[in-house]
Chains A and B, each alone.
Chain A
């Protein structure tokens, strides 16, 4: 009997006033009873509209039917056919813009909690399964994967399962890419990422950390000197953008990249950290995407009063809905329809050695209103005359998006790159350079984990074809 409740089963979470004092995961996950109850809300539509909203085409109604019957491991196997990182995607996918946006139940009431069910199933599997991956016969062909984020991990995993000898090169000291340095612990526990990486190693994938391709070794050298027959570039979009306003060089102004890397990768939030971070009193985060929400919520957990400054309105915030709701519950202040025009700093004209010199003291903003829709279809924000005001603060975090890291393109002359710095590649990841494939944010600019995974998967298939045809 279907569950006709108009609302999703609520996700159990840590209470807001508790969680804003710690970095533990906010959402606690469904119990088996909640999962079964939620799964019964699925109408098992014949035309499966939800699947069309999934970038990797998980057979959603099929896995949900198994959950409804209490067959959680079967449900996992159905998801695993299409997705290699379900525990990650169940947590970080913007489901309300993907699968859940197509759900029939969403027409009147709330859609089925597909993301929450995916997460439940993946966590159930991770907690209960002890199975070691089946050893795969090696085919003797070597493939290099550059970058160990979602695109690289997916590509490496799929190739290893096909028998390739895969080496993943990672620039930082820890594998995981944006899953480790970008997304905070309270949204994606690092133990989950580590489990995925351990799984890869168990499949026989070699991971070389501390290797900056483009500096330590070039793509041409990987192919000519180290015997890699194909290379996949999944180096993401790690190059931060700034506004170009006055005062961005002041002390206490961070890119979200730096701020989050310090906190997530270097664990700056821990009391015993060897690399602590400034504990600010009042922080402004400029931007409205997931990275802005992550930065704001980290700063809040470090004890600051936090303002999100965004030039459009609440409705236009590009972040995942759940993150915005969580941010509001945690007491983040949203200064929407507001745009910074200058960052203000301290300067003591009488004492050049004053340690406060050059530190940020405030941000000057102007109010905005929404005008006619622009080329992107969104209403264009326009400045309201004479509406300038100053927020006094001691830290500014710029979260305005990122572009692809330029290191690979600068050191690989024959690789074609688009006007925004993205590597030019088709849907299969084929680039302008023979044997070199690319996917994820390195191609598209900053997007989502699931799209990067999809691209890694497509490239793994294309690399397999390429090497087979070469023989």
Chain B
């Protein structure tokens, strides 16, 4: 069984849980995911690994309440156990050889962008984190991003936190001011990733977008 060790509400619909899962924590890398079931007859849902701690054998997951299983998950408390927790699944994000990277996250997609920023930062790359939210009360992981980047830009649609505007505005002005990125990694809503990609195409910067919707079964039955 996989015990919930910590629980933190990041905003009204987004929660972070720290789960005791020794085998997963031992091997987890940024960009990988887990599959969990809350109960013996529950649904199998995939969630990205938001953080891991090899020493304490824990995995952090961050989820937004969107359906029956995430609703149930949100009602679970510290000390309770998840019925199943399998991973790490999928492939790790490629970080080899990257020296300067812009990580562009949007909304709850920042939960997936964060471990990538952290990994690159640990490897010694210069990380610029640009994160966007609709408004101040939806902002998540601000301190985590600050601690994993040399430049942090917070954008909100209404200007209630950070600067007012879109992540693409911030990215464009950084590029225009002469920042040279080896790669841009973008994770968030599809339209946001589309406009980030269109922007970086203008400047010929290699760009990786995270396609969570095509996350597959993880056990090899789908060939992945």
Chain A residues at the B interface, C-beta cutoff of 8 Å: 171-173, 209-212, 214-217, 238-240, 257-258, 261, 266-267, 273-275, 405-407
Contacts and interface: CB of A to CB of B under 8 A. Distances in A.
B84 A173 contact: yes
Contacts of B223: 239, 406
Interface in B155-173: none
B43 A274 contact: yes
B219 A172 contact: yes
A240 B221 contact: yes
A18 to B, nearest CB: 26
A257 B221 contact: yes
A93 to B, nearest CB: 25
Given A210-B85, A405-B221, A275 B27 contact: no
B84 A210 contact: yes
B41 A210 contact: no
Given A211-B86, A266-B44, A275-B43, A217 B23 contact: yes
Given A216-B86, A266-B44, A211 B221 contact: no
B220 A405 contact: yes
Nearest to A210: B86
7 contacts: A172-B219, A212-B219, A239-B220, A239-B223, A275-B44, A406-B220, A407-B220
Contacts of A407: 219-220
Given A173-B37, A267-B41, A239 B221 contact: yes
Interface in B12-30: 23-24, 26-27
Contacts of B44: 173, 266, 275
Contact of B218 (A211, A212, A261, A266): A212
Nearest to A267: B41
B89 interface: yes
Contact of A216 (B27, B83, B220): B27
Contacts of A405: 219-221
In order of increasing CB-CB distance, the 8 nearest A-B pairs are: A407-B220, A210-B86, A405-B220, A173-B84, A171-B219, A238-B221, A275-B43, A216-B23
Interface residues of B, number: 23
Nearest to B84: A173
A216 B87 contact: yes
B68 interface: yes
Contact of B89 (A215, A238, A258, A266): A215
Contacts of B23: 211, 216-217
A88 to B, nearest CB: 22
B115 interface: no
Given A211-B86, A214-B220, A215-B27, 18 more contacts: A171-B86, A173-B44, A173-B84, A209-B84, A210-B84, A212-B89, A215-B89, A215-B218, A216-B24, A216-B88, A217-B23, A261-B221, A274-B43, A274-B68, A274-B69, A275-B43, A405-B220, A406-B220
B126 to A, nearest CB: 31
Contacts of A267: 41
Interface in B168-224: 218-221, 223
B124 interface: no
Interface in B73-107: 83-89
A295 to B, nearest CB: 15
Contacts of A171: 86, 219-220
Interface of B: 23-24, 26-27, 37, 41-44, 68-69, 83-89, 218-221, 223
Nearest to B221: A238
Contacts of A216: 23-24, 27, 86-88
B33 to A, nearest CB: 10
A182 B223 CA distance: 17
A274 B221 contact: no
B91 to A, nearest CB: 10
Q: Which of B43, B85, B218, B220 has the most CB of A within 10 A?
A: B220
Nearest to A273: B41
B117 to A, nearest CB: 23
B133 to A, nearest CB: 25
A114 to B, nearest CB: 34
A172 B219 CA distance: 8
Contacts of B42: 274
B87 A215 contact: yes
Contacts of B221: 238-240, 257-258, 261, 405
Contacts of A261: 221
Given A211-B86, A275-B43, A217 B27 contact: yes
A216 B90 CA distance: 11
A223 B84 CA distance: 25
A172 B44 CA distance: 10
Contacts of B220: 171, 212, 214, 238-239, 405-407
A403 to B, nearest CB: 9
B213 to A, nearest CB: 13
Contacts of A209: 84
Contacts of A211: 23, 86
A274 B84 contact: no
A273 B42 CA distance: 9
B5 to A, nearest CB: 18
